[in-house]
Structure 1
Amino acid sequence: MVSYFVPRARFLLKAGNLRKTIQDQQQQLQPKHTQRNGNLPLVRHFRQLPKNDTSKLANKQGQQPIGKQQTQLQVRRNAISRWTGFLLRWAPMGLCVFGAIEWQLHKFRSIRDGAPRTASEFQSRVYCSLPLRIMSRCWGWLAACYMPNPLRPYVYGWYSSMFKVNIEEALYSDFNHYSSMAEFFTRPLKEGVRVINGKSPLVSPADGKVLHFGSASDSLIEQVKGVSYSIEDFLGPLQTVEQSREAMSYAQALKQKRDGSTELYQCVIYLAPGDYHRFHSPTAWEPTVRRHFSGELLSVSPKVAGWLPGLFCLNERVLYMGHWNHGFFSYTAVGATNVGSVEIYMDSELKTNRWNGFKVGAHPPSTYEYDELLLNAKQHGKQSLQKFEKGDLVGQFNMGSTIVLLFEAPKNFQFDIVAGQTIKVGESLGHIAANRN
């Protein structure tokens, strides 16, 4: 037993001596002013000691008493650091309390005035100030990343069960076929799973939910029930100088038939994340102008659409205007949060969801700025203008979003849909009723 412990004790003694030697060497390498300070914690907290104690401590360590200016500077720094810590700790809570109070006051004013409970200007600016474009660009990059084969059945299967995706309608029902989330989002469908109604003059351009539809004869049209937006803000200025000089409303100036036999109509279809993300042509028509509004990327879900007035006028959107058999026709793909991009197959020059810097809450008028392209055969050297037939594939979203149709039709045009209805590509949106004379 003794022979076992004695060597270990000698080893511990040698280790202790070695540790002491290393500490002595480190003290010799330290600067002289650090060695003179000695006990640093006491010097750091000298403001907590009386002046006499501070002087005694300095004399005991062989130092001169700390100057009055140095003491005042240290006190100021300590005060600034304390206030900074206080603000960083309690400012978020204060902002939350202020936001809750403002929310309740706006709610009380809306109830008192009998107005719909929509977002105030302050709430709208706060919402638009969120870094939604950065989030959307990050999501677009993540969705385009390669998905390893072992993870595909689990990730895509979870997504399908969460958002009720009918993978059996897809052209490739095997999850392993899709190398990324973006490829899975924009999956094509099997031929024949969407039947185009040949009798109806206007069919659904996408799978989704009908948010709103109806007449658009006034300058303000309904986004959802009780929430309106301006046609001029949504479409932009009139196309020609002659139209702008005419003494009539904006909605009337859009019409191509001025004999009083037609009226403007609108239809809004929302594409949920689980829906088929490609969109088609609702009728035979010919686009002549393309406008790209680089606006916000706010959510276009039904709840947000019913809360934020002018949502479709604020968001980034790609607008095509032209004509069909009954006059004016426009087709708009509206971007939204997490929509990596809006792709139009016929328009290779279109680039959406671009980085526009840290311009937050800058509307209006930044969201009403747009670039315009005339789809003219002479400018592009084409033999004929781009035309669409009913059911033709137009483009795709990289996530769920919204399609807005604004068109001119006879006054006896009647919709075959109801608000909140789930609709598929090719199903009838409306018909032209027979005149009863």
Structure 2
Amino acid sequence: MSLISKLKKQVFVQVQRMVPQQQLSRVIGKVAASEHPVVKNLAIQAFKAKYQIDLSIAEQTDALKYQSFNAFFTRALKDGIREIDSDAGSVVSPADGAISQLGTIRQGEIFQAKGQSFSAEKLIGDLQLAEPFQNGEFATVYLSPRDYHRVHMPFAGTLTETLYIPGELFSVNQTTAENIPGLFARNERMVCLFDTEIGRMAVVLVGAMIVAGIETVVTGKVRPTGRVELNHHDLKLDKGAELGRFYLGSTAIVLFEQDKIRWDEQFKANSVVVMGERLGRTV
């Protein structure tokens, strides 16, 4: 890596430390929620051009017919565009994106990037709730700005708890993951915990810089309160069912207990995946 590239990465990380993350996200959130035709159309057209958004796979293919930028960003896909792997024992990708990392949780530590890791306890935010995952398996899926931004069930289960954890809002791209210690356990996140036929499962929706919100099927759009909020549920969700969505995208982390699943060998860091694609199977 050249000296210039290293300096650019250092500047990128330092700028994130300096900017008022929460205030910036709130401002962006108001713009993204605006239904004013000029505001929302300018935002949608600029975003569509910059990230080369493919609307041919979307349920609504006309960019200007979306009610707001948020509606455009969380757009539904056409029926049949994403097939959910039908193998009863398969574990599927919860989202379109790229594998950031996946593998085994070693003595409670989840690998983030070279030289960086974070504990399952800090990610989950509760020692008792994190205990089943101490030596389990994890997959971290990064959703880029151009991706489909709904998060789906990687495996069938019953949602038993949601735990909202306030935090910072660093970007979650590879550069930041390599330079911010414990990134995913520091950012704002919504932890969703499940009982499944193979044991406990967690799906963690991690917020990021200028993410204007996280939404789940049981909580609706989360309103940051600055405090931890634990809620209990009893909701059965099939594999592939929608669990939540990001307003301006981020990362989904899936956790399983020890010796319950095995990831397919072809997947590694930076592997591109689509929602419903098989990532592994039960042991």
Provide the TM-score with structure 1 as the length reference: 0.58
Judge conservation of contact 2:133–2:258 (CA < 8 Å) in 1: no
Structure whose residues are more often strand by fraction:
2
SS in structure 2 of the partner of residue 218 of structure 1: coil
Query: How much has 1:147 moved relative to structure 2?
Result: 4.2
SS in structure 1 of the partner of residue 236 of structure 2: coil
SS in structure 2 of the partner of residue 387 of structure 1: strand
Query: How much has 1:372 moved relative to structure 2?
Result: 1.2
Cα shift readout 1:256-278 (whole Å, capped 9, x = no counterpart):
9xxxxxx5001000111111111
Q: Which of the residues 223, 228, 238 maps onto 1:370?
A: 228
- What is the rounded CA distance, in whole Å, between the counterparts of 2:263 and 2:92 in structure 1? 13
Query: How much has 1:409 moved relative to structure 2?
Result: 5.0
Q: Equivalences for 1:218-257 in 2 at 5 Å?
A: 218-239=107-128, 253-254=131-132
For residues 407 and 177 of structure 1, do their structure 2 counterparts lie closer, same or farther at Cα, with a shift above 3 Å needed?
same
For residues 226 and 157 of structure 1, do their structure 2 counterparts lie closer, same or farther at Cα, with a shift above 3 Å needed?
same
The reply on whether 1:302 has 2:174 as its aligned counterpart is: yes
Q: Which residue in 1 is equivalent to 2:145?
A: 273
Structure 2 gap ranges (5+): none
Judge conservation of contact 1:316–1:335 (CA < 8 Å) in 2: yes
- What is the rounded CA distance, in whole Å, between the counterparts of 1:420 and 1:284 in structure 2? 26
Query: How much has 1:130 moved relative to structure 2?
Result: 2.8
Query: How much has 1:219 moved relative to structure 2?
Result: 2.3
For residue 257 of structure 2, what is the amino acid of its counterpart? Answer: E
The reply on whether 1:402 has 2:251 as its aligned counterpart is: yes
Cα shift readout 1:222-268 (whole Å, capped 9, x = no counterpart):
1123311111111122337xxxxxxxxx7xx4269xxxxxx500100
For residue 236 of structure 2, what is the amino acid of its counterpart? Answer: K
Cα shift readout 1:332-359 (whole Å, capped 9, x = no counterpart):
10011111110112224x63335x5xxx
Q: Equivalences for 1:69-80 in 2 at 5 Å?
A: none
Q: Which residue in 1 is equivalent to 2:23?
A: 134
- What is the rounded CA distance, in whole Å, between the counterparts of 1:287 and 1:150 in structure 2? 38
Query: How much has 1:424 moved relative to structure 2?
Result: 0.6
Structure index of larger Rg: 1
Over 4 Å off, 4+ runs: 126-129
Structure 1 gap ranges (5+): 1-103, 108-117, 241-249, 257-262, 357-368, 376-384
SS in structure 1 of the partner of residue 50 of structure 2: helix
Higher relative contact order (CA 8 A, sep 6+): 2
Q: Taking every aligned residue pair, what percent have the same amino acid on both sides?
A: 32
- What is the rounded CA distance, in whole Å, between the counterparts of 1:293 and 1:395 in structure 2? 16
The reply on whether 1:351 has 2:201 as its aligned counterpart is: no
What RMSD over aligned residues (CA atoms) do the two structures have, in Å?
2.7
- What is the rounded CA distance, in whole Å, between the counterparts of 1:320 and 1:173 in structure 2? 31
Q: Which of the residues 83, 90, 111 maps onto 1:195?
A: 83
For residues 147 and 229 of structure 1, do their structure 2 counterparts lie closer, same or farther at Cα, with a shift above 3 Å needed?
same
Judge conservation of contact 2:59–2:75 (CA < 8 Å) in 1: yes
The reply on whether 1:422 has 2:280 as its aligned counterpart is: no
- What is the rounded CA distance, in whole Å, between the counterparts of 1:372 and 1:231 in structure 2? 17
For residues 151 and 212 of structure 1, do their structure 2 counterparts lie closer, same or farther at Cα, with a shift above 3 Å needed?
closer
Judge conservation of contact 1:147–1:181 (CA < 8 Å) in 2: no
For residues 212 and 371 of structure 1, do their structure 2 counterparts lie closer, same or farther at Cα, with a shift above 3 Å needed?
same
Provide the TM-score with structure 2 as the length reference: 0.87
Judge conservation of contact 1:278–1:395 (CA < 8 Å) in 2: yes
Aligned length: 273
- What is the rounded CA distance, in whole Å, between the counterparts of 2:168 and 2:269 in structure 1? 26
For residues 238 and 161 of structure 1, do their structure 2 counterparts lie closer, same or farther at Cα, with a shift above 3 Å needed?
same
Judge conservation of contact 2:91–2:282 (CA < 8 Å) in 1: no
